[in-house]
Amino acid sequence: MTITKEKLQELEKKCNQIRCEVLTMLNRASSGHTGGSLSCIELVVALYYEVMRHNPKVPDWPEKDRFHLSKGHAAPTWYAVLADCGYFSKEELKNLRCLGSILQGHPDMTRTPGVEMTSGSLGQGLSIAAGMALAGKLDRRDSRVYVLLGDGELQEGQIWEAAMSAGHYKLDKLCALIDCNKLQIDGKVAEIINIEPLKEKWRAFNWEVFEVDGHNLEEIIEACNKAGKVKGKPAVIIARTVKGKGVCFMEHVVDFHGVAPTDEECIRALEELQKKG
């Protein structure tokens, strides 16, 4: 099933809108993770608006697909998408990182509708997603589990424990997406602790591997569809992305990892995005 041109254009617009919302949220909060939120927008949009079965009106639907954001610092992107889907009011986006807010700095399942699992401490999400996939298998459910990992996060040993166990249990309802934006807080991933060769690593752990341009919606959706047809092993989509994607002065800039845009930067960024949208 290929996506229509109209739908593609609609999703591209959606990505632009989410980018604007994420930047506005971060600017208002005056703290947060800009670069890694912008790099995974196409991945999250593709999942929520095209790939996953979910219904904001029936959040407990047992047959729904599940999503877990293991790279919890990209929470603003998830929140903006969840609000846009209707899991909660867009008004809430103004309260990111505020005292008592349903939108914590990192995802908290006990506070945010649509957030299925807490994250923030890196390296734990793949284990959790494997547990969700095992539960689905026990209940003989058809639903799939998607988990979004960061590339720096792959330096955590637990990721590989989880990869080994998911391969062992042949969790073919599990699909991991890696936002490979090539940068982490301290610098380039390749220079801090190199994680490549990635494809070979995942294959060696008995995973089916796909590689896409992480800002090309068509490629992402196609890979997700192919991943859905894999039998007898889990699938991973290595998405090559650009940190800070969409804002020229943020792209590939390490310093925008954990920094929110200032008022002036936010205005400039929104102007650039609005021109594109």
Minimum Å gap between C-beta 76 and another protein is: 20
In order of 21, 37, 240, the CA distances from 77 in angstroms are 8, 6, 18
DSSP for 60-95, written as a single string: T-TTS-EEEESSGGGHHHHHHHHHHHTSS-GGGGGG
Minimum Å gap between C-beta 168 and another protein is: 8
**Residue number with CB closer to another protein (160 or 240):** 160
Question: Judged by CB under 8 A, which of 75, 126, 220, 260 binds another protein?
Answer: 126
**Residue number with CB closer to another protein (124 or 241):** 124
Distance CA 247, CA 119 (A): 26
What residue type is assigned to position 98 of the chain? C
Question: Judged by CB under 8 A, which of 161, 213, 222, 272 binds another protein?
Answer: 161
DSSP E strand stretches across 138-265:
145-150, 174-180, 183-184, 187-188, 208-213, 235-240
Using left for φ > 0, alpha for ψ between -120 and 50, and beta otherwise, residue 59 falls in alpha
Contact range with another protein by CB under 8 A, out of 16-24, 121-129, 183-191, 232-240: 121-129
Question: Judged by CB under 8 A, which of 10, 63, 89, 135 binds another protein?
Answer: 135
Residue 108 binds another protein, judged by CB under 8 A: yes
For tokens 């945010």, what's the residue? Answer: 112
Minimum Å gap between C-beta 214 and another protein is: 25
Give the per-residue contact string, 165-204, with another protein (x = CB under 8 A; - = no).
x---x-----------------------------------
Contact range with another protein by CB under 8 A, out of 122-130, 203-211, 249-257, 268-276: 122-130
CB–CB of 106/75 below 8 Å?
yes
**Residue number with CB closer to another protein (149 or 260):** 149
Whether the link from the prior residue into 62 is cis, omega within 30° of 0, is no
Angle at 172 between CA 128 and CA 47, to 5 degrees: 70
Minimum Å gap between C-beta 50 and another protein is: 24
In order of 162, 178, 193, 195, 263, the CA distances from 155 in angstroms are 13, 13, 7, 7, 34
Structure tokens at 277: 């949208």
Minimum Å gap between C-beta 112 and another protein is: 12
Distance CA 36, CA 245 (A): 9
Count of residues making up the chain: 277
**In the chain, how long is the greatest CA-to-CA distance?**
52
Residue 69 binds another protein, judged by CB under 8 A: no
**Residue number with CB closer to another protein (69 or 242):** 69
Minimum Å gap between C-beta 118 and another protein is: 4
Contact range with another protein by CB under 8 A, out of 73-81, 113-121, 207-215, 268-276: 113-121
Residue 133 binds another protein, judged by CB under 8 A: yes
Interface positions with another protein (CB under 8 A) = 66, 108-110, 116-118, 120-121, 124-136, 138-139, 157-158, 161-162, 164-165, 169
